[in-house]
Structures are given as C-alpha cells and as structure tokens.
Amino acid sequence: MLFRLQSFFYVNLAGFINLIIWSALFTVYLMIDRYAGSFDSELILTGIYIFASMIFLNAAVFFLMKSLLSRFRRGSLVSYMAANLIVTFIFITNNMSVAVYGKQLGYEGMVMLFRGWKSGDTGNFAATVVQVVLVLAVYLFLFLLSYSMMNRGFSGRPFRFNSFIASVVIITVVILIVHFKLVAMADTNWKINSFKHKIPWQSITGFPEDLIRVDENGKKGGKFPALFNAPAFLDEKTELEQLKKLNSAGERILSQNIHVKTPYNILFINVEGLRHDMLNPENMPFLYRFATEKAFKLRKHYTTGNNTPGSLFGMLTGLAPYYFEPLRQNRFRNIPLEILKKAGYRQSVYYNSPKNYEHIYEHIIQSTEGKYVHAPGVHTDDYAPRDKWLFDRYIQELKGDSGTKRFDYMLVNVTHFNYYYPPEFRKYTPDFRSDFTIISGPQKSFEKDRVELKNRYMNSVYYADSLFKQLFTELEKMGRLKNTIIVLSGDHGEEFWEHGSFGHTWGLNDIQINPAALIYYPGIDQDDIKYKYSSHQDFMPTTFDLIGLNVDYKTFMTGKSLIKYSSDLDYAISSLGILVSFKRNGYVVMGNGYKILYRNNMDLNKSPYAIYDEHDRTLEDFDAYRAADLLMKTASSKKLQPPKI
C-alpha cells in the first residue's frame, strides 16, 4: 500500500524546482503590478502567502488531474502543465479584475468583468480572447522549455517521498499561519485590506469586509478609538426583523381610511451622477436660479447609496440603506408607494434605463406603477434625443391631464457616461470623444484624459439644465407650480480621479455621495427647512407631511420630514449602495461636523474605522463627545417602528 502511495505521489525534482521558480516570478509580478508603495513587511507577508498558495494549488490540481489521466502515457506531464496553467490563469485574471474594477475575481468581480467585456471596457472581446490564447501558448512553451532543460540537468531524478511529505507539511503550515495573520491585519491595516484582492478566494476564506475609504490614493482617515464602556451593537438582524413585522402589518396599515389634506401633485426627478458642485450659475444657470429664487437648495445632502439602485431605494422607500438588501432579497412590499396609490395617486415612471436594471423595477415599483413611459430604442442609444423625447412626452401628457392626483418619477440619463448632448451644447472644450467605453473604477488608462472627460460631463450637465428649463417653464405656464411638489436630486455624484478613481460605487467621499439636491413646494419659504444634513430617505416623509397624509409614516419609513426640525435627527447616512445581489457593508454617517466610516453587524467600538471632517480632510484630533453622539445616532437610525399586530 505504501509503495502504491509513493508511486502515485512521485514528483520529478526538476518539476518541483521549475514550479518554485515560475511561482516566485508570478508572485513578484502580482505584488508589484500597479503598486507604488514601499518595500515593507506587508508586501513581503502577502507575497509569501500568494507564493505558498500557488505551489499548494498547483500540487492539488496536479494530483487531481493525474488521477484522471493516469492511463495515458503522457498523463503526468499533461497534468503538470495543465495544473500550472489553470492556477496561473486564475491569478492573472483576478489581477486584471482588480486593476480594472478594484474588485477581486469573486462573484461580484466575475459579474463586473463580464459587464466590462460586454461593454468593451476591457477591449474587443474576440481580440482579447485571441491575445489571451497567444500569451498562454507562449507561456506554456517557456514553462515546458525550462522544465525540460532542468530535467536533463537533474537526469530525471525524483523528489524523494519523505522530502515531498515534509514540503507539503511546511507549505500547509506556512499558508495557515500567514492566512490568519493576514486576516487579522486586514481588519485594521489599509494596505493589507487592499492587497487581499490579489488573492482570488479572499472573499470566502475569512477576510473581513473592505475598509472603504474616501480616497483611493492612500488617505486613510484618523484612527478611531473605542469610545464606549458598554457599546451598542449594530445588529444586521434588526432591520430584517423590523421588515418582517412591517410586511406582516402591511394590510393593517393599508386598511386605514387613507386620505390627504392638501392633494398636491408630486414629481421626483433623479439626475444621473449630478455632483453637488454642478448646481452653480455657470454649469446650470436655469436650475441654479430656480433653486435660489423659488425652491430650497439642500445644504449638505447625501444619497442613500453611491450608485443608482442605492439612490432609488432610498428615494422611493424612505428607508435607511441598511434595509435595502433584506427588503429586496425577501421581496417585502414597498409600503410608501402603496400608501400613495391607496390615497388616489396615479404613479407614472419616465425611465430610459433598462427597465429592470438591478431589479429596481420589479422590487419597488412594479406593484404600484400605473404607467411606464420609455423612449423608443435601447439603453446603448444616444440619451440626448431619447431624454428630450421623454421630457416632450411628459409635458404633452400634463397638458392633457384631467386633474388626477399624480406621483411622477423621472430618471434623467444624459449625464450618465458617455455623457450625451447635442453639438450646440458643447460649451466646455476640449471634450472627450463620444465613442468610448468605460465603467466605474480605477481606470488608470483613462486618467490622462480626465480633463476632457469632465468637460464632456459638464456639457451633458449644461444640456440637462436646458431640459429642466423647458419643463419648469411649461409647469409654470400651466399653473402647475401652484399645486406640485418637486424633488430634484442627483442619484449620486461622479468622480474624475479627485480621490483616485473614476465614476462612483467605490468610495465614500463627498464627490460620490453628496449630489446636488433641491426641493420645491407651493408657498415654500427659505426658513422652512432648518436641517443642515439631509438624505434621499427624507424625501418621502417630507412629501407625506406636505400633502397631509393621515398616516404615521414612522411605522414604515426611517427618514425624517425636512419641514419638522429636530436636532436629534440632524444627520445623514450613506452607503456603497447595492449592486446585483452582493452584500456591501460600507456605511458612513455625517453630522456634528464629522464624517465617520463604519460597518454593520459590529459593536460601536469596533464598527467605526475612520473619521474625517465634512470636507474629507483627515483628522488626528476630534471632540470625543461629538463623535460618540454621532455614533449613537447611527445606532438609533434603525428606528423603523412597525405597528404590533
């Protein structure tokens, strides 16, 4: 039996040495690729882990394939080559995913990589496949050549069985020790937390959630100390249990005699990627004038998630971002929209994105939607004429409206990359060409073009302003400003490498989470809204108060009414948003002059990991009382109060 075991685990000495050499070369490549930091212990430790893992995985795949190909004459050699090819391909592809999207090759990374290939972000798909095949062919030739040369030098000498067993034990022990060391370090060490993405399987082997920062270029934020003797616990089960109770109580809530005191029409407008600094006299002359003269420009407004789904969920549910994942995963009902429908509001959606993008439509809109309007064409068409068509269609419908109470939701897409506008709105030059493919992420290959890209973005913003001028002018002509509440906001911001990356979804800096926002309603006064901090979850409660709905919205929403000031509620919470079906655990709370980054499902001494001021500047010293007060507000923000049945 022992002889058979030794025979099966026969390893050529040349093959073992060849594997060590090539694994070392690829480890060095992976660690220094796009790395501009110092040569330090974190780099060495991660390198040791990757190096040992490559050897271990090669051995595991080799013996698995050898058992399948043992009957073939060249089965061992084919297994040896194929095992190394598979492991190398996994690491290299993972490294590509990290370089382009900032995400490792897990479930999320695979989806993003597929999206990149589909959109052309990683180049022409067919050409990419051809290049990969050619590179792999050259690599296999060199790998086989070096093995053959060493095999001749060692005269085919076998690696002794005892030495092989000892090597396996040593490598396994090293992997285990270093793994647990890295897991512990990644919880607090920014560099290790970033390096872990070089490990393709890190998301399923105990590594902590990403420490999301405001700056990809190394701005870490002040170290956050423990502030509480008996810290509250941010239990992620809290929101799930609250939503279950709310879902059970839904019929009871809706069975009330629901009516409104002041039946204003409601118009929610979400503008793709509209940064807060775009609402100025130069970029948006009409909207800026409207905001300052007739409406209220919200002071420090934050999206509930730094992508479209995270934003829309907050705007249309009135809930804090903790609730989004359990709400859609369990298909819980969206009570606020059902309340409006029961109150007699016809709900229309004007939307040129793919209808069920990120499951938004089916999860929060479909069950109450009365009318869905979509411009002819597909989402890859030019949004400039399609959004113009949408505005024209909406205005025509309003002119023929018979007086039905309306809740209208509109998503404006011209400001989404590739940023769309007619030639006559080319105000900022030089602007980038229109035929490019890009997706949010580090996108280092585009960074040199950041000025031209931002000019293109500002041209699209300038064009969007003309659409709002057309719409609001018509609303005023029709007398509808006398009976309509208007909420207009960016769904998130748009970064142009100010903090080291492009677009959104990746960071919690103000550029990504602090969009432009305004609110208008008949008789508005500049003293009506005293809050310094607001968020998308506050729009629905404010609207409910303005129309005088006779229901207690605290039973199904966590947002605050902006026209009823309470100093205890003067804060805002934002997040990484939601993406496909991934759990994302990056949150940030703003208030008391601070910005604190934290994670869910931890106590308040462990959950926060960085603190900044309101302008994303790092803090070394801060008022512990104000910081602790803000964290307690974070804990109390899970304040959904469904009625008892």
Nearest to 79 by CA among 88, 70, 90, 89: 70
Give the residue-averaged pLDDT of 89-95: 84
- Sorting pLDDT into bands at 50, 70 and 90, what band is 40? confident
Burial class (CB in 10 A: 0-12, 13-18, 19+), 111: middle
Supply angle C-alpha 447, 450, 455, rounded to 5. 165
Residue 205: what pLDDT?
76
Q: H or E element: which one contains 535?
A: strand 533-535
Span 590-609, pLDDT tens digits? 999 999 999 888 899 999 98
Q: Is the dihedral of CA 55, 60, 65, 67 positive or negative?
A: positive
Longest dimension (CA), the chain: 94
Q: Is the pLDDT assigned to residue 7 strictly greater than 60?
A: no
Do residues 11 and 77 make contact, with C-beta atoms less than 8 angstroms apart? no
Q: Is the pLDDT assigned to residue 357 strictly greater than 80?
A: no
Task: Identify the CATH class of 237-636.
Answer: alpha beta
Give the three-state DSSP class for 598.
strand
Give the residue-averaged pLDDT of 392-408: 93
Q: Is the dihedral of CA 258, 325, 642, 535 positive or negative?
A: negative
pTM attached to this predicted model:
0.83
Nearest to 504 by CA among 218, 101, 175: 101
Q: Is the pLDDT assigned to residue 129 strictly greater than 90?
A: no
Q: Is the pLDDT assigned to residue 402 strictly greater than 90?
A: no
Token couple for 504: 């959104």
Give the three-state DSSP class for 490.
strand
Token couple for 157: 């000498």
CA distance linking residue 517 with residue 530, whole number of Å: 15
Give the three-state DSSP class for 152.
helix
Span 571-596, pLDDT tens digits? 999 998 887 656 778 899 999 999 99
Full 3-state SS string of 241-306: HHHHHHHHCHHHHHCCCCCCCCCCEEEEEEECCCEHHHCCCCCCHHHHHHHHHCCEECCEEECCCC
Nearest to 374 by CA among 386, 357, 392: 386
Number of Cα atoms under 13 Å in the Cβ half of residue 393: 19
318: region left, alpha or beta (phi > 0 left; psi from -120 to 50 alpha): left
Residue 3: what pLDDT?
46
Give the residue-averaged pLDDT of 470-499: 97
Residue 2: what pLDDT?
43
The neighbour count for residue 583, using CB atoms within 10 Å, is 12
- Sorting pLDDT into bands at 50, 70 and 90, what band is 55? very high
Residue 283 to residues 411, 457, 470, 598, Cα–Cα distance (Å): 19, 10, 16, 34
CA distance linking residue 12 with residue 59, whole number of Å: 12
- Sorting pLDDT into bands at 50, 70 and 90, what band is 10? low
Residue 614 to residues 337, 511, 532, 552, 595, Cα–Cα distance (Å): 33, 12, 12, 33, 6
Q: Is the pLDDT assigned to residue 241 strictly greater than 60?
A: yes
Q: Is the pLDDT assigned to residue 109 strictly greater than 80?
A: no
Token couple for 103: 């995400």
Q: Is the pLDDT assigned to residue 448 strictly greater than 80?
A: yes
- Sorting pLDDT into bands at 50, 70 and 90, what band is 72? confident
Residue 1: what pLDDT?
44
Residue 41: what pLDDT?
85
Q: What percent of the chain has pLDDT over 70?
A: 91
What residues pair up with 267 in beta bridges, in sequence order? 408, 486
Q: Is the pLDDT assigned to residue 234 strictly greater than 80?
A: yes
Give the residue-averaged pLDDT of 92-107: 69
Q: Is the pLDDT assigned to residue 275 strictly greater than 70?
A: yes
Q: Is the pLDDT assigned to residue 256 strictly greater than 50?
A: yes
504: region left, alpha or beta (phi > 0 left; psi from -120 to 50 alpha): beta
Residue 301: what pLDDT?
98
Q: Which residue has the higher pLDDT, 177 or 114?
A: 177
Sheet strands (E) in 546-600: 572-575, 587-591, 594-598
Number of Cα atoms under 13 Å in the Cβ half of residue 502: 24
Give the residue-averaged pLDDT of 514-535: 97
Give the residue-averaged pLDDT of 423-436: 95
503: region left, alpha or beta (phi > 0 left; psi from -120 to 50 alpha): left
Low-confidence winner among 114-128, 178-192, 292-306, 590-604 (lowest mean pLDDT) = 114-128
**Where are the domains positioned within the chain?**
2-204, 237-636
Residue 626: what pLDDT?
96
Token couple for 414: 């011209």
Give the residue-averaged pLDDT of 131-156: 87
Low-confidence winner among 94-108, 133-147, 248-262, 462-476 (lowest mean pLDDT) = 94-108
Token couple for 175: 């992997």
Span 181-218, pLDDT tens digits? 998 888 777 778 778 888 888 767 788 777 777 887 66
Give the three-state DSSP class for 489.
strand
Give the residue-averaged pLDDT of 41-60: 91
Residue 121: what pLDDT?
47
The neighbour count for residue 169, using CB atoms within 10 Å, is 10
Residue 177: what pLDDT?
93
CA distance linking residue 366 with residue 358, whole number of Å: 13
- The β-bridge relationship of strands 587-591 and 594-598 is antiparallel
Do residues 292 and 563 make contact, with C-beta atoms less than 8 angstroms apart? no
Supply angle C-alpha 493, 496, 500, rounded to 5. 105
Burial class (CB in 10 A: 0-12, 13-18, 19+), 70: exposed
Q: H or E element: which one contains 518?
A: strand 517-520
CA distance linking residue 104 with residue 97, whole number of Å: 6
Give the residue-averaged pLDDT of 323-340: 92
Give the residue-averaged pLDDT of 96-102: 67
Q: Is the pLDDT assigned to residue 337 strictly greater than 90?
A: yes
Q: H or E element: which one contains 350?
A: strand 346-351
Amino acid, res. 448: K
Give the three-state DSSP class for 237.
helix
